[in-house]
Structure 1
Amino acid sequence: MIKTLIFTLLFMSPLVTSASDFFSLSALKAADKKPLSPLQYVKATDDLLLAYRPYFPQQAQAVLIFLHGGGAHSGLSYNHIGVGLRDDFNIAVYMPDIRGHGSSEGARGDAPNKEQVWADINTIVQQARRRYPQQPIFVGGHSSGAGLALNYSSWQQRAEIDGYVFLAPYFGYKSETNHDDDKSERVGFSSVKTVKFILNTVSFGLLAGHDKAVIFHFPEQVLKNNPEIVTFNTVNMANALTPSSPDSQLADIGQFGLWIGAQDEAFDAVKVTAFAQEHAGKDRNEIKMLQDENHFSIILSGAKYIGPWLVRSR
């Protein structure tokens, strides 16, 4: 059991040609500027303040709660999705900063336990339900935010959700959707302190939960320009974001939409789409590989793919 755990954890993080290549943000830098919605706050179940950015149309057809990727926050280009869905499709969008990220409170990159991170999504859903009592609510995310959404979908205490949105999704090491390149010639975007996960597992969650376990290798210039970026996840946070059984979790979802760029640097787009098609449990899903998009450019164009599917699926 321990040997299997060690092997799988060693390969749980995406590997890319280099950190600088992975963070080639030319598309984001050249993009038209979009207004960034001001932050609002709501109390979590443990009284911590969660920050979120709302994008509300005059007549909402549906609601999407959209979660950012690893180490990021709602202010990093995700407003392109919020503005696009609001203005072009009349979709109300809530974009939270995951606890310990961005302007949300909490120890950076950490959580009391994985369930608390999922409970935070319930808090945002309740906030949305109060404003939009009659509209369908969807949950989704980009990269590891999509992994968080998938984990939430199988949590027994989740709110009632009408569907899920996965953009360039991280489905976890068990999905085997990383690139196949020679690992000896590749530089990891992130590294994993395997022993921390083992210690947490064998102690039944009593030890190492708050220890730094996944380290993100952001380029120095990126960190200088974006000081709110979090450079690590603790064991607890990583467990909240990493799907535990992605095959059965996908199969149990009523409906979902998935889009990934063929040029995605983090995950193998062919493997991701094949995995989703194999394990999709319903016919009401949309799974598409987009030829000219990569891991970050898809944030700019995401609204035009997500919007029509949400309108059809509401």
Structure 2
Amino acid sequence: MRGMVLAILKFLAISVAITGAIALILIASERPGRLSGTAGLDFSGPLSAAGTPAQPQETVPLRDGFGMQVRSYDSGRESAPLLVLVHGSGWHGLQFDALARRLSARADVLVPDLRGHGAQPGKRGDLAYIGQFEDDLADLINARRKPGQKLILGGHSSGGGLVVRFAGGPYGDMLDGAVLLAPFLKHNAPTTRPNSGGWAQPLTRRIIGLSILNTFRITALNHLTVMQFNMPQAVLDGPLGDTATTAYSYRLNTSYAPRGDYLADVAALPPFLLVAGEADEAFDAAAYQPVMQAVTDKGRYLLVPDTGHLAIVDAPETANAIEGFLDDF
């Protein structure tokens, strides 16, 4: 009997060692490279807004002492809901400046630069552990939410994916509503075009290897880069180039998207509005409703003609739809 137990333990040890070795080989076999800077998304909107004076930022301390940079747009109304807008990958909260100013007539609006992003990122493209974005947003909300105030969490692209993740996580009960602008659901969701239309360049072997290690709760290599973004050279050479984030670690990239069972996170959403452009370069806008309606009936869907992935943020139809949604709160 003892011999059998030892044999089983030896087999398990060898299996784990082989699996770990395979994971390490996968991780080591792929490294970040130089991207062309010519493909991906149309940044003409963010570039045109670069010279416009923006709402000043203030610092909100989080539980670990990190100073989150936040733009605040106060409605001046006691009964107004709180709307928190989460930016997309590679950029920062400045993308929402014009939209937030308009929506502040109906809501108190907060626009953070997520940890790892913007002019004061901490460690650019990285955070401390998987799930820290959710902790950070909860800290921000708890710091600024008035007693009894309704909360709507909104996001664009990966920021929308983070909203979906937040809904399905430990803080989901905080939400009264959600606004999703062309959200990232998952790399294998029917909504996602290959490599998000050329914008995102995943280091796939690294991701697989690190996922294997994380299955065994080995997190020591989670700081490694697994995602690069094909940021246009015109952005990097422009006045805001030093605020762009062109690569993500495994732990940040994982934190910025719904969980593996992304439909379970979708099903946990509160009443939500989804807006996407029919000309979206990264996602198939027409696929959102059939995918999400299969697990929830809480959504409203609007597709905007002749509008791309980044342009959806400042499309007049987007502001009109969000204003109508906010009127319910």
Query: What TM-score comes out, normalization by structure 2 length?
Result: 0.80
- Runs of 4+ in structure 1 displaced over 3 angstroms? 18-23, 25-35
Report whether the alignment pairs 1:262 with 2:278: yes
Partner Cα separation in structure 2 for residue 234 and residue 200 of structure 1: 11
Alignment partners' CA distance in 1, 2:120 and 2:172: 21
Question: Structure 1's 179 and 192: CA in aligned 2 closer, same or farther, altered over 3 A?
Answer: closer
- 1:29-80 deviation digits (Å, cap 9, x = unpaired): 66798652110111111111111111111115211111000011112x3102
Distance 1:193 1:241 in 2: 16
2:292 to 276, 279, 285: 276
Secondary structure at the aligned position of 2:152 is classed as strand
Cross-structure match for 2:232: 219
The CA distance in 2 between the partners of 1:150 and 1:187, in whole Å, is 21
* Counterpart residue number, 2:127: 111
Distance of 2:285 and 2:71 partners within structure 1: 29
Q: Which amino acid aligns with 2:301?
A: I
In 2, the alpha carbon distance for the partners of 1:200 and 1:140 equals 30
- Equivalent in the alignment of 2:249: 234
> Which residue matches 1:42?
60
Match of 1:123 in 2: 139
Query: How many angstroms does 1:274 deviate by?
Result: 2.4
Contact kept? 1:28, 1:300, Cα under 8 Å: no
What is the percent sequence identity of the aligned residues? 26
Question: Cα deviations across residues 84-123 of structure 1 (Å, max 9, x unaligned)?
Answer: 1013xx2111101000111344210101112211100001
Find 2:75's aligned residue among 46, 57, 64. 57
Preserved CA contact (<8 Å) 1:118 1:158: no
1:27 positional shift: 4.8
Partners of 2:306 and 2:103 lie apart in 1 by: 21
**Structure 1 partner of 2:152:** 138
Distance 1:294 1:188, change over 3 A: closer
**Which SS does the other structure have where 1:279 is aligned?**
coil
CA distance in structure 2 between the partners assigned to 1:308 and 1:154 by the alignment: 25
The 8 Å contact of residues 84 and 304 in structure 1, kept in 2 or not, is answered as: no
Q: Deviations over 1:211-242 (max 9, x none)?
A: 11101111211111122000011000110112
CA-atom RMSD in angstroms: 2.5
Pair 1:141–1:289, CA change in 2 (3 A): same
Residue pair 1:49, 1:105 contacting (<8 A) in 2 also: no
The verdict on how the C-alpha distance between 1:201 and 1:65 changes in structure 2, with shifts beyond 3 A counting, is same
Residue 198 of structure 1 and its aligned partner are, at CA, apart by 2.5
| DSSP-derived class of the 2:188 partner | helix
Map residues 147-186 of structure 1 onto 2, 5 A cutoff: 147-158=161-172, 160-179=174-193
Structure 1 partner of 2:98: 80
Specify the code of the residue in structure 2 equivalent to 1:308: G
Q: Which has the larger radius of gyration?
A: 2
5 Å-filtered alignment, 1:288-307, equals 288-301=302-315, 302-307=318-323
| Cα offset, 1:178, TM superposition | 2.2
Give the SS at the match of 1:306: helix
- 1:273-305 residue CA offsets vs partner (Å, 9 max, x unmatched): 3222323243xx211111132111111123222
- Contact 2:41/2:281 (8 A) holds in 1: no
Contact 2:161 2:257 in 1 (8 A): yes
Distance 1:242 1:187, change over 3 A: closer
Cα gap change, 1:49 to 1:30, in 2 (>3 Å) = closer
- Structure 1 gaps, min length 5: 6-17
Distance change (3 Å), C-alpha of 1:34 and 1:273: farther
Give the letter aligned to residue 219 of structure 2.
L
User: Deviation at 1:207?
Assistant: 3.3
Between Structure 1 and Structure 2, how many residues are aligned?
A: 287
Could you tell me which amino acid in structure 1 is paired with residue 41 of structure 2?
Answer: F
**Distance verdict in 2 for CA 1:62–1:295, change over 3 Å:** same
Does the CA contact (< 8 Å) of 2:231 and 2:246 recur in 1?
Answer: yes
Q: What is the CA deviation profile of residues 127-178 of structure 1, one whole-angstrom value per residue up to 9, with x for unaligned ones?
A: 221xx22320111100000011111111124561111110011111132212
2:209 corresponds to 1:199? yes
Q: Structure 2 counterpart of 1:211, which letter? A: L
What's the secondary structure of 1:155's corresponding residue? coil
2:314 partner amino acid: L
Q: CA deviation at 1:188?
A: 2.5
Write the distance in 2 (CA, Å) between the matches of 1:276 and 1:111.
29
Verify the 8 A CA contact 1:150 1:250 in the aligned structure 2. yes
